[in-house]
A and B are shown apart, each in its own frame.
Chain A
Amino acid sequence: MANFLLGRLLQSLVLLLIVSIIGFAVLHLAPGGPLSQFALVPGLSKEDLARIAHEMGLDRPLPVQYWEWLTRLVGGDWGRSYRDNQPVLAVIAGRLPATLELMGAAILISVFVGIWIGVMGAIRSYSLFDMLATVGAMVALSIPTFWFGLIVIYAFSVNLGWLPPGNRMTVGGDGSFLDYLHHLIAPALVLALVEVAIWSRYMRASMLDVINQDFIRTARAKGLPERTVLWHHALRNALLPMIALAGVEIPTLLGGALVTETVFTWPGMGRLLLDSLGYRDYPVIMGILMFSALLALLGNLLADIFAATADPRIRLT
């Protein structure tokens, strides 16, 4: 186990290194830069601009800049936002709770609803329900998330007035749990749509695999009630591969959160990325990239470990 973990960690570190090189190169080689936000400030001379560039370290060769960034990163210093001068980690930490809240809610919805649809689809495969679920999932995977979000806002906020049109809580409100929940419903549902589709598809396939296996037939032959066989024996086994899915789905979920956050003015990481891109806030963009890569790798690792500990057939070597 320890060897496995060590190996995976090393692998992940190499991956992170590659990720950082790609990210750094793309950011710095593209035209435009953070100086453009100062370029039109009256009273800032060319010398001033050169000094700012120097202070940001933008006047040095790219490999040197990268090396400095990397060594600082290793030392725990993720740099400072060009935009509001806060440490990058603090900036990200400030946005993280909102994104985690949204992602968490979406995962909860998609796990429960997705699994239920998947199991029902597998039990009654090729029934009307199964057909509708299949088509529904495919369509859900095809709807642009932002478009769906806009239509939800238009229908439920503007026309019906049931749900708030955005934000994480009532501005200046009491910040009660119910208030948060009320704001969470629409974006979480929109984000969950795609995930429900994915989960139900995987769950259906996994369940179908399990149902056709010997031990289920044995269980049935023993005369156990069908309910127990399906929801106890079969489901437990069918869920195993799904644990891995949860880890693997993290990048997709994060990407979806970015779009959803934009539509619902949710103050999370996605919005931070968009704002930072507009300002060419390199340290923050790099920070978000590294952070999301870290999250993805962590998800993969956890998925592996869970799958391995849950299923003795998988040996960690």
Chain B
Amino acid sequence: MTTAAALAPLERDLATTGNRAWRRFRRHRLALFGIVAIVLMVLASIVGPWLIPFDQLKIDIRHRFAPPPWGGHLFGTDQLGRDLLVRLLMAGRISLAIGFLAMIVSTAFGTLVGITAGYYGGAIRIVLMRFVDAMLCFPSIFLLLILAAFIQPSVTTITLIIAATSWMEVARVVEAQVRSLRERDFILAAEMIGAPGRYVMFRELLPNAIGPIVVAATLTVARAVLMEAYVSFLGYGIQAPMASWGNMLNNAQQYLGSAPWLAIFPGLMITLSVASFNFVGDGLRDALDARFDVK
């Protein structure tokens, strides 16, 4: 009998848990709103720019600061006369991509650290978790800024910097979860029948810790989008002419009085996307009944 077959009943059990979770999630109206908003934003960012008859980079210096909806520019034009709507959507690609990528990197890394620490315990756990604690001592914005101030900004570097400052929560959550699962029967069973450590970690422990990981990951996207905005606001963000919501906001603040729409739209987009991810994360948490906090 293979290990997998021995554990099949448990997996079935997990599947029903999943169904129940989905039912609970569906009842969570805010989370549904969040899902819809995220899907719409992603779709609009991907498809939208093709449907708009303006190029995001086409500068029309004589028509800068055209208020919406001047000459077909539904959201007006920016400080170089570019269509704001198309830039907002293109910026969405960048900001959301940074959000998702940073989430993937930080979740993967955090999970790895958490699972290793939780599974092996002992000295490994102490070293890894002390490192996590150390990283959490810094206000993340301090760490973020220090890194950003020294590294040439690009989508890759910003993503990595954000990931580098957001993996710790995941690691903590996963470590706690794994540590509690570690002593459960099915893990002990797997170990008893001689499953290698790697197998236990990634085939047994990981699937069972997936709930909290998904919740943490969702919240990390929200955080990453916000962090990109902060870094850009403080002047260390994405390079022109590429647009991100953060750098659009950064560029717009000096025109807050004369062209407020330049600041209002990207600010709203950030708030909407971050709130959506937070809603979804919250809904997922309720659905999976994972007991940990919004942070």
Contacts and interface: CB of A to CB of B under 8 A. Distances in A.
A/B contact in complex, CB under 8 angstroms: yes
A285 interface: yes
A144 B234 contact: no
A26 interface: yes
Nearest to A201: B294
B138 A292 contact: yes
Given A144-B270, A289-B138, A273 B249 contact: no
B52 to A, nearest CB: 25
B139 interface: yes
A251 B137 contact: yes
Contact of B260 (A144, A154, A201): A154
Contacts of A141: 274-275, 278, 294
Contacts of B135: 22
A259 B234 CA distance: 8
A23 B253 CA distance: 31
B222 A142 contact: yes
Interface residues of A, number: 50
A100 interface: no
A255 B260 CA distance: 27
Interface stretch (A11-19, A83-91, A112-120, A302-310): A11-19
Contacts of A2: none
B277 to A, nearest CB: 8
A154 B256 CA distance: 8
Interface stretch (B10-18, B54-62, B76-84, B145-153): B145-153
B139 A292 contact: yes
A139 B271 contact: yes
Interface string B229-244: 1100110000000000
B137 A144 contact: no
Q: Which of A22, A256, A285, A297 has the most CB of B within 10 A?
A: A22
Interface string B21-36: 0000000001000000
B66 interface: no
A23 B164 CA distance: 13
Contacts of B249: 144, 147
Interface stretch (B40-48, B126-134, B196-204): B126-134
Contacts, number: 130
B90 to A, nearest CB: 19
Given A15-B137, A255-B139, A154 B131 contact: no
A147 B267 contact: yes
Nearest to A145: B230
Given A18-B131, A146-B230, A201-B294, A26 B137 contact: no
Main secondary structure of the interface of B (DSSP, over half): helix
Interface residues of B, number: 43
B214 interface: no
Nearest to A258: B141
B279 interface: yes
A274 B142 CA distance: 9
B282 interface: yes
Contacts of A278: 149
A146 B293 contact: no
Q: Which of B131, B137, B253 has the most CB of A within 10 A?
A: B137
A240 interface: no
Interface string B109-138: 000000000000000000000110111111
Contacts of A30: 149-151
B222 A32 contact: no
B251 interface: no
A144 B222 CA distance: 11
B85 to A, nearest CB: 19
Contacts of A134: 30
Contacts of B260: 154
Given A154-B256, A154-B260, A274-B234, A26 B147 contact: yes
A270 to B, nearest CB: 9
B146 A27 contact: yes
B257 interface: yes
A297 B129 CA distance: 15
Nearest to B136: A251
Given A27-B146, A30-B151, A259-B141, A18 B275 contact: no
A138 to B, nearest CB: 5
Interface in A131-151: 134-135, 138-139, 141-147, 150-151
A254 interface: yes
Interface of B: 30, 130-131, 133-142, 145-147, 149-151, 222, 226, 229-230, 233-234, 249, 253, 256-257, 260, 263, 267, 270-272, 274-275, 278-279, 282, 293-295
20 contacts: A16-B137, A18-B134, A23-B138, A26-B146, A26-B147, A27-B146, A30-B150, A30-B151, A139-B271, A144-B230, A147-B270, A150-B253, A198-B294, A251-B139, A252-B295, A255-B139, A258-B139, A262-B234, A277-B149, A285-B146
Given A18-B130, A142-B226, A142-B272, 18 more contacts: A14-B130, A22-B134, A23-B138, A26-B150, A30-B150, A138-B282, A142-B270, A145-B230, A147-B233, A147-B249, A147-B270, A151-B267, A202-B293, A251-B136, A251-B139, A273-B142, A292-B137, A296-B136
Interface of A: 11, 14-16, 18-19, 22-23, 26-27, 30-32, 134-135, 138-139, 141-147, 150-151, 154, 158, 198, 201-202, 251-252, 254-256, 258-259, 262, 273-274, 277-278, 285, 288-289, 292-293, 296-297
Shortest beta-carbon contacts, A-B, top 9: A30-B150, A255-B139, A142-B274, A142-B275, A255-B141, A18-B134, A293-B137, A147-B267, A251-B139
